[in-house]
Chains A and B, each alone.
Chain A
């Protein structure tokens, strides 16, 4: 069904299409430029020029590797929630809170009604798409995750907050669709944090995607899926991009009990390790997936964004993934 939808959008993809989740490592030159921008030593225009150069680098690398659906690599973004909080009206930068260990971040605070300021990611998507004939995914953070990872001092409750964000995020999706974007990923890594709120996340995603002509993916990771599966499949998207390898493919056990019917972007390597799993190891994981999933359902990608890896590690891991897919495709 989803393949028909892709073809109706003009997208003919091979079996086991390959992609990347979203973020790719920032080039060292860009990291230095971002630090210089924070210190006021270079202008936003100079920083944007560096980010465009890095985007072009990653588009070229993904083409060289042979990925089927490309990403812009999010070279112009920092944190996935803070980026949208910085652009939407209604947010202010909060104080520092701890993420883990010795890492801290400025958690956004919703202090007023959230509203869309006009296109946020569209020009970046257009630029990335102009560099390649392959489809480039539009990349957004979902309303439930933006709500959950922000403080709220304005709306009366969490549902009202998520739905308000969803209404405004939909306008960004509409702008992406109007610009010609056909595959749009709306990430919801917080989806499983409160299983009792899954209906809220579904309702919010409905507000974002309903009636729009695009193929929608949602990325979910590092959660307690056992508490929300199979109900999570009610999310109104065509493709679930799931971290599988970090948890040693244990989700396949759930899929065996309750069939997984939508498309899946199947994470074939853990992104939080310096190690590169060999093509043979990654191929074995794909073969395992195909024991409970149809080849027509399965896309192949990393577990999560690659921004915490070095450029060299990410290229090596993606290269091994491409070799693994080529090997498995031969047997189909």
Chain B
């Protein structure tokens, strides 16, 4: 088993120093009409390069573009689809951050790349494996509001979103992504939707080519669903291990037929873990996992942390990986 330290989600787009706040200033300037859209895109590119460089400096094996271009995870995807208008703010799960709610007002359709351009940029800039995460059809359908569209309910919207996301998976493979991480935090609020989600993942898996397909369950403990998640048509399962420990017990008890990505450093709190503790916990869990690869990861996107601490958390992951590799000689 290869053990890697990896990050697939968001990275803080500004920091506390003046220089680290250039994207914030660029957006403000653009809103005042003092900066062109092209100049704003250049500023975003620069911050994406910084996010990639900081992840590499922290010692990660696989990185993301930090999602610095996304207003939020929901509207960035839904807002690109015909038939959708982006409206007011809603709280995003158990965070003190907000997303703009999509209103689906007519039939949605596939209209070109959603994230593929961003991945191609990251792949060229990072020169190492790039992971891309995006919300899956279950969560997107539940966080959208259907207003007069030809969808009788959220399940119908889920079914309409699935081929669009499957097409995007094919584009992401062509763009050079090494893995796609489908985030489905809403599954914990609606466990009965698991079979619907399974069908959607099957359709996405059919178009992904050589990409590894991961499912990520965050904003809660997935213990109650854990055994059923093992049957999904995915390559790996990314789990948030910071919600009390029940899912760790499930892994210990049931093992894993799937590759595991352990969301083992807390992306929601500044308290810094030690590499030794992370390595010890990971070693115990990964003994139970199959699959050719295992990932050490943050429990969630890192945008909930100050930038300096986000970097330190990633460095802990890399140091824990080194401890595991040294102990096992397994890479």
Decide whether A and B are members of one complex: yes
Residue A96 is within 8 A (CB to CB) of chain B in the complex: yes
Chain A residues, Cβ within 8 Å of B12: 96-98
- Residues of A within 8 Å of B270, CB to CB, are 94, 109, 151, 153
From A94, A95, A109, A190, give the contact of B96 (CB < 8 A).
Answer: A190
Given A95-B307, A227-B189, A149-B14 contact (CB < 8 Å): no
Please tell me which one of the listed residues B28, B94, B189, B306 contacts residue A96 in the complex, with CB atoms under 8 A apart: B306
Closest chain A residue to B309 by CB distance? A95
Quick check: is A213 within 8 A (CB to CB) of the other chain?
no
Choose, from A1-9, A100-108, A171-179, the stretch at the interface.
Answer: A100-108
Cβ of B16 and Cβ of A102 under 8 Å apart? no
Interface residues of A in 245-274 (CB under 8 A from B): 246, 272
Q: What's the minimum C-beta distance from A330 to chain B, rounded to whole angstroms? A: 33
Q: Assuming the A-B contacts A101-B71, A102-B24, A193-B91, are A96 and B15 also in contact, with contact meaning beta carbons closer than 8 angstroms in the complex?
A: yes
Residue of A nearest to B89 (CB): A100
The number of residues on chain B lying at the interface, defined by a beta carbon within 8 Å of a beta carbon of chain A, is 33
CB pair A152 B269 closer than 8 Å? yes
The residues of B that contact A101 with a CB separation of less than 8 Å are: 71
Q: Is the CB of B71 within 8 A of A222?
A: no
Q: What does the 1/0 interface line of B8-19 toward A look like (CB < 8 Å)?
A: 000011111000
Partner of A100, one of B94, B98, B304: B98
How far is B13's CA from A98's CA once the two chains are assembled, in angstroms?
Answer: 9
A109 to B99, CA, bound (A): 24
Other 18 A-B pairs with CB < 8 A, given A96-B307, A102-B28, A153-B270? A94-B306, A95-B15, A96-B16, A97-B305, A98-B13, A98-B97, A98-B303, A100-B72, A102-B24, A102-B27, A109-B270, A151-B269, A152-B271, A193-B93, A193-B94, A222-B91, A227-B189, A246-B88
**Cβ-closest chain A residue relative to B189:** A227
Q: Say yes or no: A100-B24 contact (C-beta < 8 A), given A95-B306, A95-B308, A153-B270.
A: no
Q: Which residues of B contact A149 (CB under 8 A)?
A: 96
The residue on A at minimum CB distance from B26 is A102
Q: Is the interface of A mostly helix, strand, loop or mixed?
A: loop
A-chain residues with CB within 8 Å of residue B98 when the two chains form the complex: 99-100
Distance (whole angstroms) from the CB of A109 to the closest CB of chain B: 6
- Tell me which residues from 133 to 156 in chain B have a Cβ below 8 Å from any Cβ of chain A: none
With both beta carbons as reference points, the residue of chain A lying nearest to B25 in the complex is identified as A102
Of the listed residues B13, B93, B95, the one surrounded by the most CB atoms of chain A closer than 10 A to its CB is B95
Query: Would you give 28 A-B contacts (Cβ < 8 Å), ordered by A?
Result: A94-B270, A95-B305, A95-B306, A95-B309, A96-B15, A96-B16, A96-B306, A97-B304, A97-B305, A98-B303, A99-B96, A99-B97, A100-B99, A102-B27, A102-B31, A104-B14, A104-B24, A107-B96, A148-B94, A148-B96, A151-B271, A152-B269, A153-B269, A193-B94, A193-B95, A227-B189, A246-B88, A272-B89
Bound form: Cα–Cα A151–B91 in Å:
18
Contact assessment for B96 and A96 in the assembled complex, using a CB-CB cutoff below 8 Å: no
Interface residues of B in 269-291 (CB under 8 A from A): 269-271
CB neighbours (8 Å) of A107 from chain B are 96, 306
Taking the nearest CB of chain A, how far is it from the CB of B272, in angstroms?
A: 8
What CA separation (Å) do A107 and B310 show in the bound complex? 14
5 interchain residue pairs of minimum CB distance: A95-B306, A193-B94, A100-B98, A151-B270, A153-B271
Closest to A196 in B: B220
Q: A194 on the interface (CB 8 Å rule)?
A: yes
B27's nearest neighbour on chain A, judged by CB, is A102
A17 interface hit (Cβ, 8 Å): no
Over the window 21-63 of chain B, the binary record of Cβ atoms lying under 8 Å from chain A Cβ atoms (1 yes, 0 no) is: 0001001100100000000000000000000000000000000
CB neighbours (8 Å) of B271 from chain A are: 151-153
Task: Answer whether residue B193 sits at the interface, using C-beta atoms and an 8 A cutoff.
Answer: no
Q: Binary interface profile of B, 303-324, with partner A (CB < 8 Å = 1, else 0)?
A: 1111111000000000000000
Interface residues of A in 3-47 (CB under 8 A from B): none
Q: Chain B residues near A99 (CB, 8 Å)?
A: 96-98
Cβ of A245 to closest chain B Cβ, rounded Å: 12
B90 sits at the interface (CB 8 A): yes
Within 72-119 of A, Cβ neighbours of B (below 8 Å) are at 94-102, 104, 107, 109
Q: Which residues of A contact B306 (CB under 8 A)?
A: 94-97, 107
Q: In the complex, A194 Cα to B220 Cα: how many Å?
A: 9
A107 to B16, CA, bound (A): 12
Expressed in whole angstroms, the Cα–Cα distance for A314 and B270 within the complex equals 37
Q: How many whole Å from A142's CB to the nearest CB in chain B?
A: 14
Report the minimum CB–CB distance from A144 to chain B (whole Å). Answer: 12
Chain B residues whose CB sits within 8 angstroms of the CB of A153 once the complex forms: 269-271
- CB neighbours (8 Å) of B99 from chain A are 100
A66 at the interface (CB under 8 A from B): no
User: Are B71 and A194 in contact, CB atoms less than 8 angstroms apart?
Assistant: no
Bound Cα distance A152, B307 (Å): 17
Contact residues, A100-154 vs B (CB, 8 A): 100-102, 104, 107, 109, 148-149, 151-153
